[in-house]
Amino acid sequence: MEHNYPIKRIVDDKGFLVDMSFQKQIDEQLVRNLYYHMLRIRTFDRKAINLQRQGRLGTYAPFEGQEAAQVGSALALNAEDWVFPTYRDHGATITFGKNMATTFLYWNGRVEGCVAPADKNIFPPAVPIATQLPHAVGAAWAEKRRGTQNAAIAYFGDGATSEGDFHEGLNFASVFKVPVVFFNQNNGYAISVPIEKQMNSATIAQKSVAYGMPGYRIDGNDCFAVYFETKKAFDYARSGNGPTLIEAVTWRKGAHTTADDPSKYRSEEQGKNFVDPLIRLELFMKNYGYWNDEWIQAAQEKTTSEVEAAVVEMEKFPPPNVADVFDHVYAEMPAQLVEQKQAYLAHLGRL
């Protein structure tokens, strides 16, 4: 079936502007901000994979290849907005303000890793697929009821569009005209299942039609397209127009998680037509005179030392507290749980 959702790009694979209308809005500050954050989260991601291989981190979900989608969207938010990520969106949440060491802790089996800074509305990552979409709608609805200018973003994958919660979230958002942006990263695969087997529709963007909301299909490896389209969707939401669905077409370069072996289901050749988002931005910077070796080197040193410091912080973190197994389940612990906790702590004391 034909569709009306061509992929929108601002910069092409060789780093040349294809949409001149953005020429004025792209300045050195934006370019450097995008590059710096993409480099920063890539450094984090590669470090995490290494730590996992060395047995210093648990199973980890890498996002290499999706940096433009995650950074471009996260930088388009206001500080008071709400973020509802999945397990693969820690690139976006770190960019938005989640602590790196905390993020490492999450992947090391520590519940502390779910906790965002008090001034950032970042939900714990959604592990059951698509469950976060209705949450984002509810949080955005609350902002609307309170009459604020804040909005919410829900991150989700291509596979998530098959779950009921995806459809229920979009429907509620459009019925109640809620200020939420549904930000899909179509990375081609849901674990081993390619998008052609996931859905019979040619695009994810076109699913917006059924819910009467605008839908955009963008090049998810073009950080400018991601940044400006996300900003546009947020402006639309903040002006009281309701939700938008964005499909950012990208590619998961690595495994689904460190426990996954992609050679079981896809060839090395696949994905070769996707130009790495950092390389693309580098080409753009060189084409338009933004590339500065000294600045790049300083950025590399700064991000590397930040990631190394976060590893040290994660590894120095106090050992898990057994009481935490019991202490955060209720505001006031029911008597029978108090009894279980005391009996268990007493048992540990006897060992």
Maximum alpha-carbon separation in the chain: 73
Q: What is the closest distance, in whole angstroms, from the C-beta atom of residue 53 to other proteins in the complex?
A: 15
Radius of gyration for the chain, computed over Cα atoms and rounded to the nearest angstrom: 21
C-alpha–C-alpha distance, residues 265 and 153, integer Å: 31
**Interacting residue with other proteins among 16, 109, 279, 301 (CB under 8 A):** 109
- Contact region with other proteins (CB under 8 A), list: 63-71, 90-98, 228-236, 316-324: 316-324
Nearest to other proteins of 150, 258 (CB atom): 258
- Contact region with other proteins (CB under 8 A), list: 42-50, 135-143, 255-263, 285-293: 255-263
CA angle 53, 299, 223 (to 5 degrees): 85
159 binding other proteins? (CB under 8 A): yes
Count of residues that bind other proteins according to CB under 8 A: 45
Q: What is the closest distance, in whole angstroms, from the C-beta atom of residue 317 to other proteins in the complex?
A: 10
**Interacting residue with other proteins among 13, 19, 163, 313 (CB under 8 A):** 163
Q: What is the closest distance, in whole angstroms, from the C-beta atom of residue 92 to ligand TPP in the complex?
A: 12
C-alpha–C-alpha distance, residues 159 and 189, integer Å: 7
Residue 134 in contact with residue 124, Cβ under 8 Å? Answer: no
C-alpha–C-alpha distance, residues 321 and 48, integer Å: 24
C-alpha–C-alpha distance, residues 18 and 10, integer Å: 5
Residue 133 in contact with residue 154, Cβ under 8 Å? Answer: yes
Nearest to other proteins of 162, 206 (CB atom): 162
DSSP 233-281: HHHHHHTT---EEEEEE----S-SSTT--GGGT--TTTTTTSPPHHHHH
Nearest to other proteins of 187, 198 (CB atom): 198
Which one of ligand TPP, Mg ion, other proteins, none is in contact with 312 (Cβ closer than 5 to 8 A by kind)?
none
Question: Under 8 Å CB-to-CB from 217, ≥6 apart: which residues?
Answer: 5, 6, 7, 8, 203, 204, 205, 247, 249
Residues in contact with ligand TPP by CB under 6 A are 88, 127-129, 157-160, 187, 189-191, 252, 256
Residues in contact with other proteins by CB under 8 A are 58-59, 87, 107-111, 113, 127-129, 159-160, 162-165, 190-193, 197-199, 257, 259-260, 264-265, 320, 322, 324-326, 329, 334, 336-337, 340-341, 344, 347, 350-351
